Amino acid sequence: MAIPRTSASAAKPKRHPRRRRLYAWKDKHYRWVPDGQGDWRLQGYIVRHRHKPKRGHFRGPGKKPAGRPAAAPAVPPAVNPDPRPAGAYQGPFGVEQAVRLLNRAGFGPLPGQAEQLVSLGLVGAVQSLTRPSGAATLSGPPPVDDDGAAIAPADAWGHDHIWWLDRMVRTNQPLVERMALVFHDWFATSIEGVSKQQQMIDQSNLFRSACFGSFLDLFKAVTVDPAMLQWLNGSENRKSAPNENYAREMMELFSLGADRGAYSEDDIREQARALTGWRNDWSGEQGAYNFRFDPNRHDVKDKTVFGRTGNWGWEDACRLCVEHPLHPSFFVDKLWSYFVPQPPSAPVRDALMGIYNSSGRQIRPVLETILISPDLYQGPAMVKPPVVQLAGMLRALGRYVDTDAWTWLCEPAGQVLFRPPNVSGWDDTRWLDTSRMRARWNLVHYALDEVSVDAWGGGYSTTESAEEALDRAIASWDSPALRPEHRAELLEFSRRVEKQVVANWQRGPYRAMRQNALLQLIGVSPDTILQ
Amino acid sequence: MTPNSHNCCGDYTRAQLLRSAAAEAGKGLPIIEPGMPEPAGTGLSRRTFLSRSAGLALAVYGASKLPLSVFEEGIAQAAPGDKVLVSVFFDGGIDSLSVLAPVGDPRYSQLRPSLALSPEAGSEFSEDPRLRWHPAAASLATLHAEGKVSAFPAIGYDHPDQSHFTSRHFYEVGELAVGFRTGWLGRYLDLVGDTENPLQGLSMDGSLSPMIATADKPVAAIDSVDGFDLWSPVSDPVRDEMYRSFARFGSLPSDSPGLAQVRRATAQTDKLRQDLGGIGEFSSPVAYPDTRFAHKLAGLAAFIAAGLPMRAVTIRAAGGYDTHSDQATDLDRNLRETCEGLLAFQRDLEARGLADRVLTEMWSEFGRRPEENGSAGTDHGAAGCAFVIGSKAQGEMVGEFPGLATLDANDNLRVTSDFRAMYCALLEQWLGQDAGPIIPGASGFVRPTLVKA
């Protein structure tokens, strides 16, 4: 009962029905970028004009900038450059290691960035990420939607997703964005239960500002964050009608973990009473607003949580959790899991817990230790979350956020920012299945939209060799290191295509298609998907 | 939600917005209304299933514990040839006073100073000289002139509810009650459907419409009529070679669990591409407009022609119709896309000799306020419009246009036909099923004649 196929439609490459033509006029512009070796190189990039550009309009600089390029991104001086502390990774810190660091502690390198980090040494490189100075700088054109208009992250559907994606692409403080993503997953809140996109954005800004400091401070801020108060019913929790939702999740998911004997159902009920008192107003115009603590709604009787009795309030509730003896192990295991796929060994775990406790439960010292650990550099690869892969691809391709299609394209890949599947966040062990792999393929296809060459315009080389084709495609992806067996397969592919050329007219078009297929294959190779 | 709010309304579920993101992207985020009832059918379990016999990737919904292979057999064995009812939903509350504009009503131009259609626009509605078809509904007017459209110019129910969600829920479940777990077509499928054929109830928008939510019979949702394709930047023979290399990435040895995971997903993805990638390459005997909505209908016609055993199919009309602002532009574009797609669909069915097997019903959760608001838009109203389309449609108006001289207590259009009467008639006259066990209070509704004898 198969649907009949027609040969005509099978042969014709079909434009996907969801794809729209975004811009009518595109042309190549040029800019000077650091070449990673202390000098500049000219980089071509595609600009899409909404209106037909005038002949001879400005397409980029002619003169090379004077002097050496600034580091990209600006790196503050390392406080403690190599040599490395005991327990740290002691092997070579070259481009390969720097790329892994940038992949896991950010969104992959910008052109030249890995080389910059190498020059700082391991410790200096890590500290350049964990100790950024001042506010983040976003370089490059600001994000626009499909119509070329400025995005409206607080108002337009899906623009919240591309607002954050853009920060991932353009920031000079990639670890801040990556840690905000970590805590977005850790304290997973979804717009599905929050009335305004701005409240979600505000929550992500809270993560940005508090991601390196005291975990207790972050925990307390999240507990009374308006998005969280809506999401887990914190502002409906009052002494006459306690709501246990937040009390349970703050223990199970945020600070202690389930099935460890850390707390009882009684602890949850008592904790819910400690958390009573927050409320908000509601209007059709504003949604949920005016979040505040109302003493009249707070239960002032004694509560007994984890065996400790007192007239606890919401700040005590957070403190009691982080002072619980099972909290430090939960914290270091969870933080570790975002950066290294295998759990830490017992000695490493003990060391991390020691650092956490002795620092007064600060996030940064634990994070810095994870980021210089041998397990990160010598351990196995892990699958990038979809938005991490996407942001990394855009950075490598020199593309900026110029379409809101990324929201609906990321949805089948399994990750829309501000929309985690539930309060436990995304499942990092299930990023890939056939449906999500297909979505990643399509993301790559879309990302390459303007990098692809014109197969039928007649301008492509008719003599390009298989090796030259592969080199060109790899260079377009900012020269990632490919595993040898992948490189061999791609070269084999290049040669196979060449053998398909039988007629003279096919020489150029087939080579152009080969180039486009190589670009696609690199994007869907394990080298791009893994970090 | 206040009636005068000009924001996008809050009653759509965000998950649905997400699924229609391409159409909805850039639209304001809805505010969730407290106390929203649960959509019918959310209790059904969902499993994903790839049917080779049907050539479709399906999300199968059903309480049944049957293994998925049983559904495969059910699809292969279910006899084709049954009547098919297609339900098209104008999401957001379409402005019936634009689709069938009462240009002959003296109050029309006063109530709609900026939005009123000119007396010469569009074409005359032959059954009521006061009304004219909107120019964007010209395709529908064409079918009406051929006697293939029954129009309901003021359909609704008593004590209309102006919440998108609540009113839509009433229409979906066929009863004026919140909290129903099954849809009206779902209950029909529960009565007559097969225990092993999920295609009997098919939603074409990626998620299950509550209308076909059943108690126990399996039903399905598909994301795309194009099956499982990987967008290709190139054509054959380079394309074939590209997929071969992609498959090779999936079969090379792995040295870590992460790499093994990528390889496994890669290999399986390419396998599925081979199994299902071709199903979108259907052919159509007529030309369809180049729109997503029309493409789905083209696929649907091809599915019916291929003998897929479907009874009730749901699909959302192109775009959204919650036109609180800038109504003229949005409505024109979306209504045109929908009507042109439906005309092509009808012509396709006629060309394939299937037109006597398919009837299409178009509905919306309510109409819009006769008096326009201050944003060149209209707010939520009461009576709206519905249409029944097909070669077998009776082609006669049901319920009169009530006029604008007297409105209801909330200044909305008065209702002259009940949607549950329409459902009873569709069930009995088209699907051959007594409405009694399906529509609560069915005996109290006077059935209009909707199907030609």
Condensed to tens digits (0 to 9), the pLDDT of residues A236-272 reads 888 988 888 899 899 989 999 987 899 998 999 899 9
Mean predicted confidence (pLDDT) in A341-362: 97
Note the ipTM here: 0.84
Chain A contact present for B256, CB below 8 A: yes
Condensed to tens digits (0 to 9), the pLDDT of residues B15-46 reads 343 333 322 222 222 222 333 333 343 345 55
Is the peptide bond between A69 and the residue preceding it cis, with omega within 30 degrees of 0?
Answer: no
Contacts of A436 in chain B (CB under 8 A): 265
| Whether A521 and B245 lie within 8 Å, measured CB to CB | yes
* pLDDT confidence of residue A22: 43
Task: Read off the pLDDT band of A464 (50, 70, 90).
Answer: very high
* pLDDT confidence of residue A110: 95
Contacts of B255 in chain A (CB under 8 A): 380
Structure tokens at A198: 């701005």
DSSP string for residues in A333-370: HHHHHTT-SSPPPHHHHHHHHHHHHHTTSBHHHHHHHH
CA angle A51, A56, A58 (to 5 degrees): 80
| Whether B241 and A382 lie within 8 Å, measured CB to CB | no
Distance from CA of A505 to the nearest CA of B (A): 14
Quick one: closest CA in B to A17, which residue? B292
Q: Averaging pLDDT over each range in A38-47, A435-444, B97-106, which range is the top one?
A: B97-106
**Are residues B1 and B163 in contact, defined by beta-carbon separation less than 8 angstroms?**
yes
Is the peptide bond between A73 and the residue preceding it cis, with omega within 30 degrees of 0?
Answer: yes
* Spatial distance between the Cα atoms of B264 and B258, rounded to a whole number of angstroms: 10
* pLDDT confidence of residue A80: 43
Quick one: closest CA in A to B239, which residue? A517
| Whether A521 and B26 lie within 8 Å, measured CB to CB | no
**Are residues B404 and B105 in contact, defined by beta-carbon separation less than 8 angstroms?**
yes
* Spatial distance between the Cα atoms of B13 and B10, rounded to a whole number of angstroms: 8
B253 pLDDT above the threshold of 70: yes
* pLDDT confidence of residue B49: 65
Distance from CA of A163 to the nearest CA of B (A): 13
Contacts of B34 in chain A (CB under 8 A): 282
* pLDDT confidence of residue B17: 39
A77 pLDDT above the threshold of 60: no
B261 pLDDT above the threshold of 50: yes
| Whether A434 and B307 lie within 8 Å, measured CB to CB | no
* Spatial distance between the Cα atoms of A158 and A169, rounded to a whole number of angstroms: 17
* pTM greater than the 0.90 cutoff: no
**Are residues B58 and B51 in contact, defined by beta-carbon separation less than 8 angstroms?**
yes
| Whether B269 and A438 lie within 8 Å, measured CB to CB | yes
Across A101-110, A428-437, A502-511, B24-33, least confident range: B24-33
Chain A contact present for B35, CB below 8 A: no
* pLDDT confidence of residue B96: 98
Q: Average pLDDT, whole number, for chain A? A: 89
Between helices A174-186 and A159-170, what is the axis angle to 10°? Answer: 140
Chain A contact present for B239, CB below 8 A: yes
Instruction: Report the residue from A404, A442, A497 with minimal CB separation from B231.
Output: A442
* pLDDT confidence of residue B11: 33
CA B286 to chain centre: 22
* pLDDT confidence of residue A130: 98
* pLDDT confidence of residue B278: 57
B421 pLDDT above the threshold of 70: yes
**Are residues A82 and A124 in contact, defined by beta-carbon separation less than 8 angstroms?**
yes
Contacts of B230 in chain A (CB under 8 A): 438, 441-442, 445
- Alpha-carbon dihedral angle through residues B264, B265, B267, B269, given to the nearest 10 degrees: 160
One-letter amino acid of B36: M
* pLDDT confidence of residue A52: 66
| Whether A1 and B55 lie within 8 Å, measured CB to CB | yes
Chain A contact present for B67, CB below 8 A: no
* pLDDT confidence of residue A350: 97
A6 pLDDT above the threshold of 70: no
Structure tokens at A163: 């607002």
Structure tokens at A250: 């703050």
CA A60 to chain centre: 30
**Are residues B275 and B50 in contact, defined by beta-carbon separation less than 8 angstroms?**
yes
* Spatial distance between the Cα atoms of A165 and B19, rounded to a whole number of angstroms: 19
A17 pLDDT above the threshold of 60: no
* Spatial distance between the Cα atoms of B224 and B227, rounded to a whole number of angstroms: 6
What residues of chain B, 286 to 325, have a C-beta less than 8 Å from chain A?
Answer: 290-292, 295, 302-303, 306-308
B35/A398: higher pLDDT: A398
Between helices A484-500 and A466-476, what is the axis angle to 10°? Answer: 130
Mean predicted confidence (pLDDT) in B154-168: 86
Condensed to tens digits (0 to 9), the pLDDT of residues A498-531 reads 999 999 999 999 999 999 999 999 999 999 999 9
A284 pLDDT above the threshold of 50: yes
Q: Averaging pLDDT over each range in A259-273, B216-230, B421-435, which range is the top one?
A: B421-435
* pLDDT confidence of residue A154: 94
| Beta strand residue intervals within B272-351, DSSP E | 312-316
* pLDDT confidence of residue A267: 94
Distance from CA of A503 to the nearest CA of B (A): 13
Instruction: Report the residue from B245, B259, B272 with minimal CB separation from A381.
Output: B259
* pLDDT confidence of residue A458: 80
DSSP letter, residue A390: H
What residues of chain B, 414 to 433, have a C-beta less than 8 Å from chain A?
Answer: none
| Whether B235 and A513 lie within 8 Å, measured CB to CB | yes
Condensed to tens digits (0 to 9), the pLDDT of residues B271-317 reads 777 766 555 568 899 999 999 999 999 999 988 988 888 999 999 99
| Whether B232 and A419 lie within 8 Å, measured CB to CB | no
A200/A28: higher pLDDT: A200
A326/B80: higher pLDDT: A326
Task: Read off the pLDDT band of A10 (50, 70, 90).
Answer: very low
* pLDDT confidence of residue B230: 84
Across A45-54, B219-228, B395-404, B421-430, least confident range: A45-54
- How crowded is the C-beta side of B18, counted as CA atoms within 13 Å? 23
* pLDDT confidence of residue B224: 77
* pLDDT confidence of residue B53: 67
* Spatial distance between the Cα atoms of B411 and B355, rounded to a whole number of angstroms: 40
| Whether B238 and A497 lie within 8 Å, measured CB to CB | yes
Distance from CA of A98 to the nearest CA of B (A): 20
Task: Read off the pLDDT band of A37 (50, 70, 90).
Answer: low
**Are residues A500 and A510 in contact, defined by beta-carbon separation less than 8 angstroms?**
yes
